[in-house]
Amino acid sequence: MIQLSRECSDDQGWQANVRLAGPDLAAGLLATLATACLNTWVFDLSNGYFLEVGFLYVVMAGFVLVSLPLSFGALDLGIANRVTLGRAALVLPLAGVTIQTPVISVIGYWWIILVATVAMILDGVDGWVARRRGPTVFGARFDMELDALLLLVLSVMVWQSGKVGLWVMLIGVLRYLFVAASWLRPSLAAELPASRRRKTICVVQGVVLLVCLGPIIPATMASIIAFVALAMLVSSFAVDVRWLLRPGQRC
């Protein structure tokens, strides 16, 4: 009887969260498709582009619904999460472009830089809003996952540009390798203390990748600054890993 009551409560929680997030996710889908339409105008993309972007959006929507605590206890997602959803409407269509691997013109690269720059500015906006309205565990994770995806997309684009070798993708992949390592070593999954160093280096990675994509930046310079950025990122991860594996940390 208690088990049945708990299942009914969970079902009601899921229904409440779907009602809560549904309108925002629907609006986010429209914004994502609008960005995708602009991308098809800028790039030479196949008909499958919209299906790829749609699939990415469905995956993200599933992540939102699964990660949102049951009975979220709010009337809506909140302004900060809506800003993050707006960022997703810019990042996911860019991810679709990397799947298409089109030949990108000079105008195309400036367009990518513009869209990614707006997404990065909105990252600062949603952080500012969250700090003033009260951050949530869900909001912080949603924001972090989108940051990681943007770095992955930009690092793939830099590699596809031909300016930098395949190694540049480590900038976008390193965080996912860290997550995979935490499955093997649970102590790596422990919560890290807040760090200005970590946030600053994350921003530096995004800025460096945008600079590398700039049509006026030669390949040699792009390789040098990308290598320096990667070295900073590896050093930052090394500091965090050392802290997580310190003596007395539970394995």
The answer to whether residues 159 and 210 touch, using CB atoms and an 8 Å cutoff, is: no
Based on the structure, what is the number of domains in the chain? 2
Mean predicted lDDT score pLDDT of the chain: 87
Mean pLDDT of 45-66: 92
Nearest to residue 155, comparing CAs of 126, 175, 134, 135? 175
**165, part of any domain:** yes
Q: Which long-range contacts (CB under 8 A, 24 or more apart) does 175-182 make?
A: 175/148, 175/151, 176/148, 176/152, 178/237, 178/241
**Domain boundary at 69, 104, 123, which?**
123
Mean pLDDT of 126-140: 80
Residue 111: both structure tokens together: 């367009």
Whether residue 2 is found in the same domain as residue 64: yes
Predicted confidence at residue 111, as pLDDT, reads: 97
Contacts of 7 (CB under 8 A, 6+ apart): none
**90, part of any domain:** yes
**Which residue has better confidence, 116 or 6?**
116
Q: What domain range includes position 190?
A: 161-251
Predicted confidence at residue 49, as pLDDT, reads: 95
What's the pLDDT tens digit per position in 186-243? 888 888 887 888 889 999 999 999 999 999 999 999 999 999 999 999 999 999 999 8
* In the predicted structure, residue 9 carries a pLDDT above the cut 50: no
